[in-house]
């Protein structure tokens, strides 16, 4: 089995951070979105990965090759972003006829991946949502099999959303449907959707079972990213990395602090993740993500997302600051 992770998106909802950093590499609970996904799959026994890269794809490749040298990794370039269906179709030659586990690169799922992989049938991950109109939606029969999937329906017949987790045994049929949709210009919402290819497979008799995930975290926007950071910090039970005590500083767990940080005269936490080699002095930070090599002096931050190499002086309440930024609020 090969794992396919599409990470070619530009991450426009997370700008300015994604001007300089792929969305999948944004820090989260002391890790990155991508490393959390890959680690889950490695723990489940997968050793071969296919990454669909595009925007800032060289950073993805460098990160993966450095962090996971033991894995067999392929990188497929998606030069024009035409949807998830188009992205998966580009992996056809690499996958051949192997089974695939597709995990979208901007969502984190809590589930038993070993159980998903062991299923004798193709499986789609589902989660109940309040408003399914913004998601792919699955309809089930009484036996729990999926009878129909549709992308972002205006009038949903189900509240079960596709969470971005797809185990496909019949990969040959998947690629045939993807190619047929491309050849016939079958699009939903102006893109070639993976959901439409799955519906094509269902219409041709492929059986899909439903797999309901425990939790599903959307990391595509600032507010949901900060919420996910707080939940995962609690899950990982992080206080801080084992480093020397910080001078005149109070740490309120859960907090993740990277290596080489210099923190003085501050209150950090709860729900804060700080990158490596960051300096914080005379500051209060809570419910925030701070990048690496940043400098914070005399600031009060809450619900903030600060990129790497940022310099902030003064007083503030909520910021969304990208990499290589300097701000003086004094």
With beta carbons less than 8 A apart as the criterion, state whether 255 and 272 touch.
yes
CA distances from 282 to 8, 91, 247, 264, 297 (A): 39, 50, 11, 7, 6
Question: How big is the chain by its Cα radius of gyration, in Å?
Answer: 21
Which pair of tokens denotes residue 235?
């899950």
- What pLDDT sits at residue 199? 96
Which pair of tokens denotes residue 237?
């039970």
- What pLDDT sits at residue 330? 54
Question: Residue 247 carries which DSSP code?
Answer: B
Nearest to 26 by CA among 236, 272, 306: 306
Taking residues 188-214, what's their average pLDDT?
93
Give pLDDT tens digits for 231-281. Answer: 989 887 654 444 457 889 999 989 999 889 999 999 998 999 998 899 999
* Tokens 């501050």 found at: 266
Q: Are strands 288-290 and 305-306 parallel, antiparallel or unpaired?
A: parallel
Nearest to 145 by CA among 127, 162, 129, 123: 123
With beta carbons less than 8 A apart as the criterion, state whether 228 and 208 touch.
no
- What pLDDT sits at residue 243? 47
d(CA 24, CA 158): 30
d(CA 232, CA 217): 10
Enclosing H/E stretch for 65: helix 57-67
Asked if omega into 16 is within 30° of 0 (cis), the reply is: yes
- What pLDDT sits at residue 242? 47
Give pLDDT tens digits for 106-163. Answer: 888 888 999 999 999 999 999 998 888 888 999 999 888 999 999 999 888 989 999 9
Q: Are strands 250-251 and 295-297 parallel, antiparallel or unpaired?
A: unpaired
With beta carbons less than 8 A apart as the criterion, state whether 106 and 221 touch.
no
d(CA 7, CA 23): 8
- What pLDDT sits at residue 322? 60
Backbone φ and ψ for 201, nearest 5 degrees, come out as: -65, -40
Higher pLDDT, 81 or 35: 35
- What pLDDT sits at residue 79? 87
With beta carbons less than 8 A apart as the criterion, state whether 225 and 305 touch.
yes
Nearest to 281 by CA among 262, 308, 306, 303: 262
- What pLDDT sits at residue 5? 96
- What pLDDT sits at residue 319? 59
- What pLDDT sits at residue 81? 81
Quote the pTM value: 0.86
Give pLDDT tens digits for 60-86. Answer: 999 999 999 999 999 999 988 889 999
- What pLDDT sits at residue 292? 87
């Amino acid at each position: 089995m090969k794992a396919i992770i599409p990470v070619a998106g530009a991450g426009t909802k997370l700008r300015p951070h994604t001007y300089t950093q792929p969305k999948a590499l944004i820090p989260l609970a002391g890790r990155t979105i991508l490393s959390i996904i890959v680690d889950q799959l490695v723990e489940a026994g997968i050793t071969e990965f296919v990454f669909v890269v595009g925007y800032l794809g060289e950073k993805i490749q460098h990160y993966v090759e450095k962090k996971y040298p033991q894995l067999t990794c392929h990188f497929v370039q998606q030069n024009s972003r035409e949807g998830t269906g188009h992205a998966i179709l580009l992996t056809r030659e690499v996958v051949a006829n192997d089974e695939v586990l597709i995990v979208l690169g901007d969502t984190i799922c809590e589930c038993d991946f070993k159980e998903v992989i062991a299923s004798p049938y193709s499986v789609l991950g589902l989660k109940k949502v309040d408003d399914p109109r913004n998601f792919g939606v699955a309809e089930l029969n009484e036996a729990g099999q999926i009878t129909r999937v549709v992308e972002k329906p205006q009038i949903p017949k189900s509240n079960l959303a596709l969470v971005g987790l797809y185990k496909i045994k019949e990969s040959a049929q998947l690629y045939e449907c993807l190619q047929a949709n491309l050849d016939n210009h079958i699009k939903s919402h102006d893109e070639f959707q993976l959901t439409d290819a799955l519906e094509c497979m269902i219409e041709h008799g492929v059986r899909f079972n439903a797999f309901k995930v425990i939790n599903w975290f959307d990391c595509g926007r600032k507010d949901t990213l900060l919420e996910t950071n707080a939940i995962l910090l609690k899950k990982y039970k992080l206080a801080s990395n084992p480093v020397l005590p910080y001078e005149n500083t109070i740490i309120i767990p859960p907090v993740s602090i990277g290596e080489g940080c210099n923190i003085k005269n501050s209150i950090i936490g709860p729900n804060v993740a700080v990158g490596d080699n960051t300096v914080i002095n005379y500051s209060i930070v809570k419910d925030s993500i701070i990048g690496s090599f940043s400098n914070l002096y005399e600031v009060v931050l809450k619900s903030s997302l600060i990129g790497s190499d940022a310099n902030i002086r003064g007083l503030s309440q909520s910021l969304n600051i990208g990499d290589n930024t300097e701000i003086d609020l004094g």
